[in-house]
Amino acid sequence: MSQATQDSVREDGVIASVSGPVVTARGLDARMNDVVYVGDEGLMGEVIEIEGDLTTIQVYEETSGVGPGEPVESTGEPLTVDLGPGMMDAIYDGVQRPLDVLESKMDSAFLDRGVDAPGIDLDEKWEFEPTVSEGDEVAPGDVVGSVPETVTIEHKVMVPPDFEGGEVVAVEEGEFSVTETVVELDNGEEITMHQEWPVRQARPAAEKKTPREPLVSGQRILDGLFPIAKGGTAAIPGPFGSGKTVTQHQLAKWADADIVVYVGCGERGNEMTEVIEDFPELDDPKTGNPLMARTCLIANTSNMPVAARESCIYTGITIAEYYRDMGYDVALMADSTSRWAEAMREISSRLEEMPGEEGYPAYLAARLSEFYERAGYFTTVNGEEGSVSVIGAVSPPGGDFSEPVTQNTLRIVKTFWALDADLAERRHFPAINWNESYSLYQEQLDPWFVENVEDDWADERQWAVDVLDEENELQEIVQLVGKDALPEDQQLTLEIARYLREAYLQQNAFHPTDTYCSPEKTYGILTAIHTFNDEAFKALEAGVPVEEIQAIEAAPRLNRIGVQEDWEAYIEDLKAEITEQLRELY
Amino acid sequence: MKEYQTITEISGPLVFAEVDEPIGYDEIVEIETPQGETKRGQVLESSEGLVAIQVFEGTTGIDRNASVRFLGETLKMPVTEDLLGRVLDGSGQPIDGGPEIVPDERRDIVGAAINPYSREYPEEFIQTGVSAIDGMNTLVRGQKLPIFSASGLPHNNLALQIARQATVPEDEDSGEESEFAVVFGAMGITQEEANEFMEDFERTGALERSVVFTNLADDPAVERTVTPRLALTTAEYLAFDKDYHVLVILTDMTNYCEALREIGAAREEVPGRRGYPGYMYTDLAQLYERAGRIEGREGSVTQIPILTMPGDDDTHPIPDLTGYITEGQIYIDRDLNSQGIRPPINPLPSLSRLMDDGIGEGLTREDHADVSDQMYAAYAEGEDLRDLVNIVGREALSERDNKYLDFAERFEAEFVNQGFDTDRSIEDTLDIGWDLLSMLPKSELNRIDEELIEDYYEEDAESVEAEA
């Protein structure tokens, strides 16, 4: 919450009752969703229900020891985030309090209560370079200058969307803090580098367009088979241990977005620490700068207060939209949206609302679709193009995809990466099931791949899909009669499919080279397997027994393409050798 | 301190009383029955004039004339280093006949969340001496790794084996192996099980470096919601104030969850899945997340919660929610158990999420990751083939398939099976791994680096016939 609003504190009320994170207050003059400070310690909360004189508040902090009679103050403002330079390389809790600042303010490794801190440092000086001069007309959303926020990101200072705009009468240049005025307009509006925006309200944009560019992830199965567009939405459901978090981390590391907002919603503390420790050491494959220079982390671990878990998703998407307005491609990872839905359920049940399916509130579907609708490829208010892609992990209880959160999510998102416990169990990673997953962006993205990678991108993909489909059918027979009972050509198809699975679909996230695979390399691996396929079937037709084909020395080397630094030469060499060794057999 | 004789309703573990002053949420309450017995409880809901109290020791004997005292503070655990070697009941009172505990400090048992920014990522290998864990699902300091078991399986023996054998291999500077302090929290286990643990602790001398909390099966169920918090508060104190490496064993989490359900039902809350409260995820997370390491502090808290899956079903809410919070899980397998494999750990569904950063050169051995990956893959393949053998018989399978079948047999009999008293070093574990992998032709080892194959592969082993 912003500090700027604290002096506008209005009427006081008193606590009437306390039950976990839900507190009711009497005599409070507050509007729906206003932020309030609860109790002697001033715990932050939000109004979620008003009934006569009784106001119900969800409190973002632990309420042990808080009792009736203690004061409640309203700020008269909804939950907002502070927007401005300093958000990159930051790590926040669910209500945008910087965790590093909290650590020093509380002087403890444990999270204390009643400590507030603004989302961006209000005193830090930034080098402001104006792009407008006196006499220019500016409208809401227009860029008036820029600030080098990190080595990678040029932070654009914009006229806030709720301003009227007008003629510029004064412009400053040089070092300023975010609260100092840098541009003044003729109607008296003063523009600073700091904006506030209510998290539950989408920031305005001019137009939502059809996405036509892929968000290249460097993960073969995603780019190759189930791509997501810039501005698209994807869901990753999977039971525990199937690799949701690793997949999300991989995307956060390698996706070719300008900005990454990573929301750890109700997940493990150690996982967030891994991100905090790893990301500053990793390089952005696009710019070579540290990954953190383009990343904003929001960490609300599972043991942090449940109400802040409910809000962290909104905090994240609002920050994402702000950078989108600057014309950047932003990717937001939410891990996990199920925890967010559960937070809603928990609060809803404390309010004794009538539950919908499996105890979730009846508005679950509405909230989910509202959230995913904030993604998209936009023309921004100032005419730039920017996008927000949303990738949400889903943790279905017992791995059962028929539960409400998964089902309601699938109705909205266009890319579905189904994680599979069986694959994970046999250490096939990423454990994305190729039979169940889909991407509805495939066709609208194919032109991009054709233009930027290779003409027959779509055909090669179709070939791979066909082989995998056939394998799926053959496996059923194999389960009954054994592999050796199949005709030779089908045995060979199984062998080809095996290489597709092992060399193409599997990818080692922990191998320094294999962790990122460019679309060109993805395509290259596929053609290598295709070459083996074509040559092997020729050999089979010429009467070579399938055992001999399988036994050629070069074939297992297909599995090692992924880890090759110099893959182009390796593939060329391998194709030649496979061809030679197979032709020697007849 | 004001005393009230204003109880209006008693229902299951809950007591409702009228009050004329504000009472804090979670505050501790003492209720004195007319017979002079004092029971403790905690405020579950506080509103003007009325509070709901959850009574730990059960509400038997309380009537409307019982007097209620609010202590004005939340539940605290008296902590001191002298707790090591002591045995306490489920609410923290000594039951070993030892001297009274003089606390250094009294700590709130709810415990604040560790700031994720202040955490240090766990990556120090713990050698448990159990191959199926060390080799395939490595435990590291600061991890929470539950044991998923079921009724009638020897999970307690495994927990004891880990408590006995767990060491962090020699520190290069000091040349010492560091031992763990053990905090043991028992919830609703039988007297017999408790004796088993106590005898083992005493026999091996582990008791000296242990703090034991026991809530037995016939102790009040509501008390079980407090026991793990007392244990974890003690563990945090020992780890982060007194620099101990603490291993916390909590058993049985299923009983804990049953107690949560009981309270939820008494409060007439809207239930979630299978009648468990909707906030069970948050509640369990508040326990499990109290494992970890903190930057700048010497000690660590490592958790091994044990739970018994009702009906061996891992989609049941208790194992399911646990699996989503903890960093992996160890499965105890009924089939392996009946085959006499000890410990009967099934590595296929088991997982340690923190393994990758805790192993490798300088931590365990350079080949650890590859060997473990390859064994998983090979064992999984062998397992698959077993189904097929049942239908078509072994003769109908190719030579390659037969090798995998042999591998699976030997993997269970030699790698997983080691008995509850054998303590294997990580080198031994990996060497046995190579011994088994060398049954397979080199070309099948596609997950192992070529150089490592050169160094470790045992050429002649290929021809050795499997004992199975």
Contact list in A for residue B112 (CB cut-off 8 A) is 62, 108, 110-113
What's the CATH number of domain A125-193, 3.40.50.12280, 2.60.120.10, 3.40.50.2300, 2.40.50.100?
A: 2.40.50.100
Judged against a pLDDT cut of 80, whether residue A10 lies above it is answered with no
Distance from CA of A347 to the nearest CA of B (A): 9
Separation CA A310–CA A76 (nearest Å): 21
Task: Confirm or deny that A242 is annotated as ligand binding.
Answer: yes
Torsion, Cα of B71, B76, B82, B85 (10° steps):
110
Query: In this structure, what DSSP letter does residue A359 have?
Result: G
Q: B63 to chain A nearest CA, in Å?
A: 25
Gap between the Cα atoms of A157 and A173, Å rounded: 13
Q: What pLDDT is recorded for position A7? A: 43
Peptide bond into B343 cis (omega under 30): yes
- Which residues in chain A have Cβ-Cβ distances shorter than 8 Å to B315? 397-400
Strands (E), B139-295: 139-140, 147-149, 167-168, 178-179, 181-189, 210-216, 245-251, 292-294
CA distance linking residue A346 with residue A361, whole number of Å: 9
**Length of chain B counted residue by residue:** 468
Query: Is the confidence at residue A6, as pLDDT, over 50?
Result: no
- Tell me: is residue A376 an annotated ligand-binding position: no
pLDDT above 70 coverage of chain B, percent: 96
- Count Cβ neighbours within 10 Å for each residue of A326-352 and write b for 16 or more, e otherwise: bbbbbbbbbbbbbbbbbbbbbbbbbbe
The whole-number pLDDT of residue A65 equals 85
Identify the CA nearest to B433 among candidates B450, B457, B449.
Answer: B457
B310 vs A: CB within 8 A? no
Mean pLDDT in residue range A9-37? 85
Amino acid residing at A539: A
Q: Identify the CA nearest to A359 among candidates A407, A404, A397.
A: A404
Mutate to test the interface with A, among B16, B25, B288 (most CBs of A within 10 A): B25
Q: Report the amino acid identity of residue A429.
A: F
Per-residue pLDDT reduced to its tens digit, A91-120 = 999 889 999 999 999 888 998 888 888 999
pLDDT digits (tens, 9 = 90+) for A257-282: 999 999 999 888 888 888 888 888 88
A243 is in an annotated binding site: yes
Q: In CATH terms, is domain A207-271+297-441 a member of 3.30.559.10?
A: no
Count of CB contacts below 8 A, A vs B?
224
Contact A345 B278 (CB under 8 A): yes
- Assigned CATH for A454-585: 1.10.1140.10
A483 interaction partners in chain B (CB closer than 8 Å): 398, 401
Interface test with chain B among A56, A95, A240, by most B beta carbons within 10 Å: A240
pLDDT in tens, B436-451: 999 999 888 888 888 9
Give the pLDDT confidence of B375-396 residue by residue, as tens digits: 998 999 899 889 888 888 888 8
What was the pLDDT predicted at B462? 47
% residues pLDDT > 90 (chain B): 58
H-type helices in A279-419, by residue range? 306-325, 337-350, 364-373, 404-410
**H/E stretch holding A22:** strand A22-26
Q: Please check whether residue A248 is in contact with residue A217, taking contact to mean a CB–CB distance below 8 angstroms.
A: no
Q: Is the pLDDT of residue A90 over 50?
A: yes
Can you give the residue ranges of every domain in chain A?
14-78, 125-193, 207-271+297-441, 454-585
- Report chain A's mean pLDDT, rounded to a whole number: 91
Distances (CA, A) of B239 to A261, B81, B141, B242: 34, 10, 11, 6
**Is residue B229 helix, strand or coil?**
helix
> Which residue does chain A place closest to B71, by CA atoms?
A65
| Amino acid B264: pLDDT | 85
Q: Enumerate residues 302 to 361 of chain A having a beta carbon within 8 A of any beta carbon in chain B.
A: 302-304, 306, 339, 342, 345-346, 349, 352, 355, 358-359
Average pLDDT over residues B73-95: 92
Domains of chain B, start order:
2-73 (2.40.10.170), 77-356 (3.40.50.12240), 368-467 (1.10.1140)
CB-closest option in B288, B324, B356 to A240: B324
| Residues of B whose CB is below 8 A from A69 | 21-22, 48
Is the domain spanning A14-78 CATH 2.40.30.20? The answer is yes
**Taking 50 as the threshold, does the pLDDT of residue B252 lie above it?**
yes
B265 shares contact with chain A (CB less than 8 Å): no
Closest CA to B181 of B314, B4, B302, B100: B302
Task: Reply yes or no on whether the pLDDT at A382 is more than 70.
Answer: yes
Q: Which chain A residue's Cα is nearest to B372?
A: A427
pLDDT above 90 (res B314) = no
B112-132 residue pLDDT tens: 899 999 999 998 999 999 999
The string of pLDDT tens digits covering residues A184-243 is 999 999 999 999 999 999 999 999 999 999 999 999 999 999 999 999 999 999 888 788
**pLDDT of the residue at A575:** 95
Q: Is the peptide bond before B219 cis (omega within 30 degrees of 0)?
A: no
Nearest CB to A482; choose among B111, B388, B443: B388
| pLDDT tens per residue across span A448-492 | 999 999 999 999 999 999 999 999 999 988 888 878 889 999 999
- Alpha-carbon distances of B437 from A423, B456, B466, rounded to whole Å: 21, 10, 12
Report whether pLDDT(B305) > 90. Answer: yes
Are the Cβ atoms of A273 and B320 closer than 8 angstroms?
no
